[in-house]
Structure 1
Amino acid sequence: MIKVGVIGFGTVGQGVVESLVQLERGLRKEVTLEMLLVTNRRKHEHSEQYALVTDDWETFAARYYDVVFEAAGGIEPVYDYVRFFLKKGVPVVTANKKLVAERGEELERLAAENDTYLCYEAAVAGGIPILNAIKGTLATTSFTSVAGILNGTTNYILTGMIEQNRPFQDMLEEAQAKGYAEADPTDDIEGYDAWYKIRILARLCFGIWPNRDDISRSGLHDVLDWHVELGQSLGLTLKLDGRASVKNNTIIGSVAPAFFTNDHPFSTVYGVTNAVVLEGKAIERLLFTGPGAGKEATANSMVEDYLFHERYKGERQPMLIKEKEQNRIANVLVMVAAHEKKEAEKVVEHLPCQRINTFAADEGEAWWLKVYEDVIPFISKQLGLSLYRVYGAFEKQLVTTNMHHPSSIDETLEQKA
């Protein structure tokens, strides 16, 4: 018999309880729900499981469990609860990306010391089995980079802006009305949600936890409607992109809005769908897509995560860090409003970049720059304008849209760099 405890009884917690039949079938053992820990027991008085609900931590902690599912979210007091069970040798399954990103290194170490494990497949791209694919199927595969569309809320908003030509605020309000965005959407809009997730992905791909300061974060606060429209006129699709790679034995990465050409797989990731791309010498490029959240998807992921860890006892090896290619040249678009143009032209002349072309809009213009990717943060800071990386075959796409561009890069870029 497997005895289960559940922390949190909101949407995801309810989904976990409903999925216990699935767990029983997978384990071929009887599964019993022992107790549910909530913050306010009275709110659940009409639930079928009310007799098992408690809001007293001491009561919940006194029970014996074979596994605990954590679906409450946040860091405190959940962090203390998770530590308590790991120290007792009880495996914990969580969908809590903030907890895992901020405290995962310590919690994994604690789990190992007590011969148990912390599962967090559902913390990243809820309906995509990406973490366990990395741990299991790709356990000895070396990766050069990982990237993803990791936040369904921002992807839904940007999809509507592009496909329906609707303003940002309208799409945000619609996302909130449909339950895709919280009343306070800061974590989604400012990129925190995707930031937590790319840090978790980086840890599994490269074998070490990244330093939080080495993964930069920029949300949608500087994205204007005309930026999206101008990009669309060039055949580009705007997404909130998260990515990580390794340089000098350090994981580096970013979360930022970026444009994708129509030949890039991320350009066709619509609505609340998530996507992850893994790249490496042996695999070239692997694409995973699926639902990023939702009651059924997340609960299913948590149950499957526990089943995976019960069956799979191997560990991904931390020596599989691979350096990315150095000094790659990147395409970027800098959005310059009419009143910013004069000053920006003075600044850009002295920066290590080559200005290739200008694309006009009523509200301003986009400057196409070629730069070495290592200096993009410096250029962005010096200009102080909205700068977007362009991924995919940009030059090739411009040919198909009859946009003028030079056939090669002159020596200016190398001289400036």
Structure 2
Amino acid sequence: MLQIGLIGYGTVGSGVYERLSTTSKHIEQLLGEEIKIVGILVKDRQKKRALDVDAVVTTNWEEFCQIGQYDIIFEAIGGIEPAFSYTAEWLQRGIPVITANKKLVAEKGSILEKMAEEQSTYYGYEAAVAGGIPIINALKGTLMTTSISRVAGILNGTTNYMLTEMIENQRSFTDVLIEAQQLGYAEADPTDDIEGYDAWYKIRILSHLCFGEWPTEETFSRKGVSEIEDWHVEIGERFGFKIKLIGEACVSKSEVKGRVTPAFLTLTEPLANVRGVMNGITLEGKSINELLFIGPGAGKEATSNSMVEDFIFHERVKSVNRTTNLDVEEEKETIAHALLFIKHSQREEALDWVKDQKIAVIDTCDHPEGEGWIICEKNLPSPFKEYPIYGDVALRKRTKTMHSTQFGAF
């Protein structure tokens, strides 16, 4: 019998318990062995929720460790500590651990994977990225030897919901943030979502799977959505662009580069049509061209399902090590243009800046609160708010060009 330990009984932890309980017979058929959740470690405030479970429930770490001879641990508490100490303890004992903790995996994954390797066990984190989308084990399994040159995605359902509402229903940033909190999509403190941390952890994990290196926080830049103003979204819409929070990693000059940033997507870009709380991920490579994955990025059922499937996948495969290297065709430049936003009071300064930097302005759009200029991207520090454009700007909606005499013919 496989004895299972569960750390945490919040939304995800209770979902794992329910998923294992309701599908135990099917899982046992697949694994050829009986499974049983024997111990659950909870916080005091979670204990009442776990009163009716068929397992020993405790708030004491030492007692949890002594409940049974665990064969697998599910970690569902989040954060770095005590999750790191708990996970390290079991991996060093040779006991596999399954997690949905993206911050822990991004920050400590290199250490924990090394521990697992040294003890001939595994550390599974399928549910740490994009909830119900099986992207991690697709990379570990069916795409094990496939060369990837770029991975990009909409990796945070909260911000995608907010931006979708702003675009489709012309609602304000503040209004949709409050609603997202009321619906449970955003926490009372929404910093991790709106400042891009959540997506930043996830793209770092995906980068590791695609390119074989664990990126540090210094090598992947991060910009959230808190500085997006309502009129920025309106101007993007006039051009026919959709604004999204994009996480991206690619190989450039034999180095892995990555970032999280708001970006405008033309309607021909596959991720432009990922709406609401859904997540979307694209993989690009010479032999696959482009693969698109779309699905729920969070939620009790989706996340717990991914954790259980991750357990079954690893138990059946046991050793899964993706072949990765940087000897791949480098990603062609994906960002050729950007959308620059200037307030009316900044107009003369902006004219001088594009002239001094020899930056071509392709098109402009006027708005009561300012102007939006489509410029040729030169990767220069900008004194104005600027967001990249993904896709072919030639396919944009045509707006009435403003101030053409200053820029010349468009």
The TM-score, its normalising length taken from structure 2, stands at 0.92
Q: Matched residue of 2:377: which SS? A: strand
Give the aligned partner of residue 263 of structure 1.
Answer: 268
Give the aligned partner of residue 236 of structure 1.
Answer: 241
- Between 1:341-350 and 1:126-135, the stretch displaced more is 341-350
- Between 1:202-211 and 1:10-19, the stretch displaced more is 202-211
Q: Distance in 1 between matches of 2:78 and 2:72?
A: 17
- Between 1:263-272 and 1:90-99, the stretch displaced more is 263-272
Give the aligned partner of residue 388 of structure 1.
Answer: 387
Deviations 1:350-396 (A, max 9, x none): 22532222211111101111124xx2xxx2x3x32211111112212
Structure 1 position 363 matched with structure 2 position 364: no
The alpha carbon displacement at 1:345 in A equals 2.1
The alpha carbon displacement at 1:27 in A equals 3.7
- Between 1:220-229 and 1:17-26, the stretch displaced more is 17-26
The alpha carbon displacement at 1:213 in A equals 1.2
Deviations 1:51-100 (A, max 9, x none): 62111011112232110000100001110000000000000000000000
1:123 partner amino acid: A
Q: Matched residue of 1:205: which SS? A: helix
Structure 1 position 162 matched with structure 2 position 167: yes
Which of 142, 145, 163 matches 2:147? 142
1:102 partner amino acid: E
Give the aligned partner of residue 409 of structure 1.
Answer: none
Structure 1 position 83 matched with structure 2 position 88: yes
2:51 partner amino acid: S
Q: Matched residue of 2:132: which SS? A: coil
Give the aligned partner of residue 408 of structure 2.
Answer: none
Structure 1 position 16 matched with structure 2 position 28: no
Which of 296, 306, 314 matches 2:311? 306
Whether the 8 Å CA contact 1:135–1:315 is kept in 2: the answer is: yes
Whether the 8 Å CA contact 2:365–2:401 is kept in 1: the answer is: no
The alpha carbon displacement at 1:30 in A equals 1.6
Q: Distance in 2 between matches of 1:46 and 1:231?
A: 48
- Between 1:388-397 and 1:87-96, the stretch displaced more is 388-397
Give the aligned partner of residue 117 of structure 2.
Answer: 112
Give the aligned partner of residue 321 of structure 2.
Answer: 315
Structure 1 position 225 matched with structure 2 position 224: no
Give the aligned partner of residue 5 of structure 1.
Answer: 5
Matches within 5 A, 1:241-256: 241-256=246-261
Whether the 8 Å CA contact 2:10–2:46 is kept in 1: the answer is: no
Whether the 8 Å CA contact 2:335–2:390 is kept in 1: the answer is: no
Structure 1 position 74 matched with structure 2 position 74: no
- Between 1:8-17 and 1:248-257, the stretch displaced more is 248-257
The alpha carbon displacement at 1:46 in A equals 6.3
Runs of 4+ in 1 over 6 A off after TM superposition: 402-405
Structure 1 position 25 matched with structure 2 position 26: yes
Structure 1 position 191 matched with structure 2 position 196: yes
Q: Distance in 1 between matches of 2:235 and 2:197?
A: 26
Structure 1 vs Structure 2: percent identity of aligned residues? 50
Whether the 8 Å CA contact 2:286–2:329 is kept in 1: the answer is: no
Whether the 8 Å CA contact 1:140–1:316 is kept in 2: the answer is: yes
Give the aligned partner of residue 48 of structure 1.
Answer: 52
Matches within 5 A, 1:304-343: 304-312=309-317, 313-319=319-325, 321-325=327-331, 330-343=336-349
Q: Distance in 2 between matches of 1:149 and 1:19?
A: 26
Q: Distance in 1 between matches of 2:245 and 2:132?
A: 19
Structure 1 position 38 matched with structure 2 position 42: yes
* Count of residues in correspondence between the two structures: 396
1:243 partner amino acid: E
Q: Matched residue of 1:100: which SS? A: helix
Q: Distance in 2 between matches of 1:250 and 1:26?
A: 42
1:38 partner amino acid: V
Deviations 1:215-253 (A, max 9, x none): 100001210000001101111110001100012332111
Give the aligned partner of residue 412 of structure 1.
Answer: none
The alpha carbon displacement at 1:326 in A equals 5.4
2:260 partner amino acid: V
- Between 1:23-32 and 1:309-318, the stretch displaced more is 23-32
Whether the 8 Å CA contact 1:5–1:33 is kept in 2: the answer is: yes
Q: Distance in 1 between matches of 2:309 and 2:182?
A: 30
- Between 1:302-311 and 1:38-47, the stretch displaced more is 38-47
Q: Distance in 2 between matches of 1:250 and 1:39?
A: 43
Structure 2 residues not aligned, in runs of 5+: 403-410
The TM-score, its normalising length taken from structure 1, stands at 0.91
Q: Matched residue of 1:137: which SS? A: coil
RMSD of equivalent CA atoms: 1.8
Structure 1 residues not aligned, in runs of 5+: 406-417
Whether the 8 Å CA contact 1:131–1:204 is kept in 2: the answer is: yes
Q: Distance in 2 between matches of 1:328 and 1:186?
A: 28
Q: Distance in 1 between matches of 2:222 and 2:109?
A: 19
Give the aligned partner of residue 57 of structure 1.
Answer: 61
Q: Distance in 1 between matches of 2:283 and 2:394?
A: 24
The alpha carbon displacement at 1:402 in A equals 6.6
Query: CA distance change for structure 1 residues 321 and 61 in 2, over 3 Å: closer, same or farther?
Result: farther
Structure 1 position 349 matched with structure 2 position 355: yes
The alpha carbon displacement at 1:320 in A equals 5.3
Q: Matched residue of 1:125: which SS? A: coil
2:44 partner amino acid: N
